[in-house]
Amino acid sequence: MATDKAIALTPEDISALEEKYLFATYKRSELFCSHGSGVHLYDMNGKRYLDFLGGISVNSLGYGHPRLTRILTEQGRQLIHCSNLFYHPYQGALAKKLVEVSGMAKAFFTNSGTEAVEAALKIARAYGNARAGNGKPVILTLKNSFHGRTFGALSITTQDKYQAPFRPLVPDIEVVEEFTVQALEKAFSDRVCAFVMEPVQGEGGIVPLPVDFVRAGRVLCDRHDALLIADEIQCGLGRTGKYFAFEHFGIQPDVMTLAKSLAAGYPLGAVLGNARVAESLGPGDHGTTFGGGPLACRFALEVLRIIEDENLIAKVDSLGRYLMDEIKKLAIQHRSIREVRGMGFMIGIEMGAAAKETVSRLLKKGIITNAAHETVLRLLPPFIIEKKHADEFLTALDAVLGEIESES
Average pLDDT over residues 308-330: 98
Looking at the fold, whether 165 and 204 belong to one and the same domain comes out as yes
Question: How long, in residues, is the chain?
Answer: 408
> Cα(52)–Cα(47) distance, rounded to whole angstroms?
16
Looking at the fold, whether 135 and 56 belong to one and the same domain comes out as no
Looking at the fold, whether 197 and 234 belong to one and the same domain comes out as yes
pLDDT tens-digit map of 40-74: 999 999 999 999 999 999 999 999 999 999 999 99
Name every residue whose Cβ is closer than 8 Å to that of residue 210 and which is 6 or more positions away in sequence: 179, 180
Looking at the fold, whether 34 and 18 belong to one and the same domain comes out as yes
Write down the mean pLDDT value for the chain.
96
Contact 320, 344 (CB under 8 A): yes
376 three-state secondary structure = strand
Looking at the fold, whether 166 and 60 belong to one and the same domain comes out as no
Q: Is the pLDDT of residue 321 over 70?
A: yes
Residue at which a domain ends, from 251, 274, 309: 309
Question: Which residues form the domain of 380?
Answer: 5-64+311-407
pLDDT tens-digit map of 91-139: 999 999 999 999 999 999 999 999 999 999 999 999 999 998 889 999 9
Query: 175 - beta bridge partners?
Result: 141
Looking at the fold, whether 324 and 305 belong to one and the same domain comes out as no
Looking at the fold, whether 75 and 221 belong to one and the same domain comes out as yes
- Residue 4 has a pLDDT of 53
Residue at which a domain ends, from 267, 284, 309: 309
Average pLDDT over residues 195-218: 98
- Residue 408 pLDDT class (50, 70, 90 cuts): confident
Beta strand residue intervals within 337-407, DSSP E: 339-343, 346-350, 367-368, 370-372, 376-379
Looking at the fold, whether 25 and 83 belong to one and the same domain comes out as no
- CA-closest candidate to residue 256, choices 106, 142, 391: 106
Name every residue whose Cβ is closer than 8 Å to that of residue 292 and which is 6 or more positions away in sequence: 84, 91, 94, 108, 109, 110, 268
Looking at the fold, whether 289 and 336 belong to one and the same domain comes out as no
- Residue 7 has a pLDDT of 61
Number of domains observed in the structure of the chain: 2
Residue at which a domain ends, from 278, 294, 309: 309
> Cα(42)–Cα(232) distance, rounded to whole angstroms?
29
pLDDT tens-digit map of 151-171: 999 999 999 999 999 999 999
Looking at the fold, whether 81 and 32 belong to one and the same domain comes out as no
- Residue 134 has a pLDDT of 82
- Residue 2 pLDDT class (50, 70, 90 cuts): very low
- Residue 5 pLDDT class (50, 70, 90 cuts): low
CATH number, position 283: 3.40.640.10
CATH number, position 351: 3.90.1150.10
Looking at the fold, whether 229 and 100 belong to one and the same domain comes out as yes
Looking at the fold, whether 36 and 98 belong to one and the same domain comes out as no
> Cα(145)–Cα(114) distance, rounded to whole angstroms?
13
Q: Is the pLDDT of residue 180 over 50?
A: yes
- CA-closest candidate to residue 379, choices 326, 335, 337, 343: 343
- Residue 3 has a pLDDT of 45
